[in-house]
């Protein structure tokens, strides 16, 4: 079946602009996660959605970052007033409950100039 | 705070050799542990998941073990092939199902 998809695959934006990144999880997966990977660094957790529960936003680095999810489908990660340090690959994953094995999308490479 | 360490950071071996990648974690209260591979310019591919109650998982030439009490996991790759060249990442899931990641081991298999 179809895996996790993300769009766009690449995004170049000017400092100060807002960007929206999209994630389509695997159908039926109730959990959805966003991670960030800066060049040469490890992955950082950003936010986690599970069903209709309140999302776990503990990994969001600042109030410029927000994310929404429509039911158990599409999620959008929004970064407002982008900064150069936001440049990274943003990865989305989804999973079924137990054992919560996460399947990743190809990522969105964001470059802030 | 959970910390995940992977050793070595890089490894280069001739084709056909068996090899072991190591992962250690500081807090044994994990939900599960996953091994992934990451190819340049591509996303992450899940290789194996070991639940906290399990000791090992096998898939083809890959075998992953988990020793929660000592905070260690190993990924064993048998009869390595050039196509196995990639960065291998270990991640542990906490009680909130968030993955905490190691920095990875960059593996090169020389033909």
- On whether any CB of chain A is under 8 Å from the CB of B102, the answer is yes
Query: How many CB atoms within 10 Å of residue B106?
Result: 16
Whether pLDDT at B102 is above 90: yes
B19 vs B32: CA distance, rounded Å? 23
Q: How confident is the model at residue A113 (pLDDT cuts 50, 70, 90)?
A: very high
B6 vs B38: CA distance, rounded Å? 15
Query: What's the pLDDT at A47?
Result: 94
Q: Quick check: bond before A99 cis, omega within 30?
A: yes
Q: How confident is the model at residue B94 (pLDDT cuts 50, 70, 90)?
A: confident
Reported as half-sphere exposure (CB side, CA atoms, 13 A), residue B73 has a value of: 36
B1 vs B53: CA distance, rounded Å? 21
Query: What's the pLDDT at A84?
Result: 96
Helices (H), B5-74: none
CA distance A63 to chain B (A): 20
Mean confidence (pLDDT) of chain A: 92
* pLDDT tens sequence across A41-73: 888 999 999 888 888 898 999 999 999 998 888
Give A99's contacts in chain B (Cβ within 8 Å).
32, 49, 51
Q: How confident is the model at residue A1 (pLDDT cuts 50, 70, 90)?
A: low
Selection from A30, A27, A29, A24 nearest residue A52 by Cα? A30
- Using the beta-carbon criterion (under 8 Å), do B44 and A104 form an inter-chain contact? yes
* pLDDT tens sequence across B7-19: 999 999 999 999 9
Question: Which residue in A42, A102, A107 is closest to B46 by CB distance?
Answer: A102
Q: How confident is the model at residue B57 (pLDDT cuts 50, 70, 90)?
A: very high
Mean pLDDT calculated for residue range A84-104: 91
């Amino acid at each position: 079946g179809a895996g996790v998809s993300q769009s766009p695959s690449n995004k170049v934006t000017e400092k100060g602009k807002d960007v929206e990144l999209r994630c389509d999880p695997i159908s039926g997966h109730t959990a959805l996660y966003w991670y960030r990977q800066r060049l040469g660094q490890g992955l950082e957790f950003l936010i986690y959605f599970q069903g209709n529960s309140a999302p776990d936003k503990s990994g969001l680095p600042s109030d410029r970052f927000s994310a929404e999810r429509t039911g158990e489908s599409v999620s959008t990660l929004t970064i407002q007033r982008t900064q150069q340090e936001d440049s990274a690959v943003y990865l989305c994953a989804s999973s079924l409950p137990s054992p919560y094995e996460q399947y990743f999308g190809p990522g969105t490479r964001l470059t802030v100039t | 705070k959970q910390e995940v360490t992977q050793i070595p950071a890089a490894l280069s071996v001739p084709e056909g050799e068996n090899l072991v990648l190591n992962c250690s974690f500081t807090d044994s209260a994990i939900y599960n542990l996953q091994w992934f591979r990451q190819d340049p310019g591509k996303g992450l591919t899940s290789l194996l998941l070991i639940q906290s109650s399990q000791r090992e998982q096998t898939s083809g030439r890959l075998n992953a073990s988990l020793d929660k009490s000592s905070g260690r996991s190993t990924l064993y790759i048998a009869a390595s092939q050039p196509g196995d060249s990639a960065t291998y990442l270990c991640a542990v899931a906490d009680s909130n199902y968030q993955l905490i990641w190691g920095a990875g081991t960059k593996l090169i298999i020389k033909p």
